[in-house]
Amino acid sequence: MQLFRTPQIFRWMFPRKIWGFSSKDTVYLTFDDGPTPTLTPWILSTLEHYHAQATFFCVGNNAKNYPELMESIRAQGHSIGNHTMRHEKGTNTSKKGYLQSIEEAAPFTSTTLFRPPYGRLPLSFISPIRKKYHIVMWSWLSYDFDQRRSVEIILKRAEKIKPGDILVLHDNEKVEIRIKELLPALIELLQSKGYRFDVILD
């Protein structure tokens, strides 16, 4: 079963992770996996058009290979998070290897924000990561990567987004066609409700 909204019990079970914020009128767009040369410039242009800010959780290898895109993200006032060096899944990686991957990505992301790829993070990994990073999860997942979910269905589910929610979208080639339809419509929907978009502070 796929849930757009993260169940409240997860927040109770894992309070040391950030799932959302208290806010009256702000939501937090986040993009995972970039930067991507074929898509990141379009995302940045779209955000600029709508005067929206976002947080980009970047894979270290991508950040290393496309420093000009990292600079563009920062120059437009968005914030950046660490998403490991090679997009490792925590449940398939040793603790030593996973922590090393985060540190490998650190010089290219320069942030205290971290999001685990796939949202998978064994309990024993949390304490050592939190010594240096805020672990940022999400309260609403777009499923932009899932071809079984039409953009229309995603937007219908987006009607239930609340102030303070952290929203997950993606910045990779797999979502390129769908995100170009989804992102403007999502921003317009939420702005019509009086919401604004801000960064997650590093």
d(CA 202, CA 124): 24
Q: Provide the CATH number for the domain around residue 68.
A: 3.20.20.370
What is the predicted pLDDT for the residue at 1? 53
Residue 13 within a domain? no
Place of tokens 């303070």: 164
Residues 6 or more apart in contact with residue 49 via CB below 8 angstroms: none
d(CA 158, CA 154): 6
Render 12-80 in DSSP notation, one character per residue.
Answer: HH-TTSB-B---SSEEEEEEES---TTTHHHHHHHHHHTT--EEEEE-HHHHHH-HHHHHHHHHTT-EE
What is the predicted pLDDT for the residue at 142? 97
What is the predicted pLDDT for the residue at 190? 98
Q: Structurally, how many domains does the chain consist of?
A: 1
pLDDT along the chain (202 residues), means of 10: 82 91 97 98 98 98 98 98 97 97 98 97 96 98 95 97 98 95 98 98 92
What is the predicted pLDDT for the residue at 10? 85
Asked whether 120 and 90 are in contact (CB, 8 A), the reply is yes
Residue 70 within a domain? yes
CA-based max dimension of the chain: 46
Residue 45 within a domain? yes
Instruction: Give residue 91's domain range.
Output: 22-197
What is the predicted pLDDT for the residue at 3? 83
Residue 14 within a domain? no
User: What pTM value is reported for the model?
Assistant: 0.96
